[in-house]
Chain A
Amino acid sequence: ETGVTQSPTHLIKTRGQQVTLRCSSQSGHNTVSWYQQALGQGPQFIFQYYREEENGRGNFPPRFSGLQFPNYSSELNVNALELDDSALYLCASSPQGIQQYNEQFFGPGTRLTVL
C-alpha cells in the first residue's frame, strides 16, 4: 500500500509568482485535505476535497485554490505569492469522506520558500 506522496519536496519562488503543489492520496482514499504549517506553529487547515468538490475551507484568501482529480489526487495553487506564504504545505488523505472517526494520513510535505 502506497502512502501519501507530495511533490516537489522543496520549492523556492519570488513574491508575486504562482505555485502549484501536488499530492497523491493513499490508495483507496477519496478525501484530501491541505494544511499550511509556518515555522514553529501547528498545521492550519486550508481546505478539503471530497469526490472532486471543495468540502470545507479554513481562513485562507481566494488566492489559495485547489483541485481534485478523478483518481483523487489533488493540487494546491497559490497565486500572487507573499513572503508569509513561506511554510511547509501538508496534504492528508482519508477514506470514505469526512466522518470524524476516519483518521487522516499525512504526506511528508512540500517546503515552500518565498523570497
Chain B
Amino acid sequence: DAKTTQPPSMDCAEGRAANLPCNHSTISGNEYVYWYRQIHSQGPQYIIHGLKNNETNEMASLIITEDRKSSTLILPHATLRDTAVYYCIARSGNTGKLIFGQGTTLQVKP
C-alpha cells in the first residue's frame, strides 16, 4: 500500500471551506484513496473514497489530481463539529486492511 503524507495540523474558520491536502506520490493504479475522520475517543468515521474521478457526497468532496499523486478533501462549510483528526489512506486491492498514518488534526474555530 502506498504511503500517504499529510500536514500534522490545520485551522479553519467556522463556515469557511476546509481544504485538507494529501500526498500519495507512490500510489499504484488499483489503489483507491480513502478519507476517514476520528473525533476524539470515537471510532473512525468513513467520509469518502475515489479512484480517479472527483467524488462528492453529503459530507465532502474529494479532488484527485490527474496524475493521482495527490488529493484534497474539501469540507464546504466547516462547523465546530468537524474538529477531528482526518486520515488519508491509499488502499490497495485484495486487502481489507486500512493503513492509517498520523493524519491531520483539523481545528475549526468560531
Contact = CB atoms under 8 A, between A and B. Distances in A.
Interface residues of B, number: 27
Nearest to A106: B43
A2 interface: no
Contacts, number: 70
Given A108-B42, A109-B43, A98 B98 contact: no
Contact of B97 (A4, A56, A90, A108): A56
A61 interface: no
B62 to A, nearest CB: 13
B97 A105 contact: no
Given A33-B96, A56-B97, A98-B94, A105 B46 contact: yes
A93 to B, nearest CB: 11
Contacts of A94: 96
B49 interface: yes
A43 B97 contact: no
Contact of A103 (B30, B49, B103): B49
A5 to B, nearest CB: 11
**Which 3 A-B residue pairings sit nearest by Cβ, starting from the closest?**
A42-B100, A106-B43, A98-B96
5 contacts: A42-B100, A43-B100, A98-B94, A100-B30, A109-B42
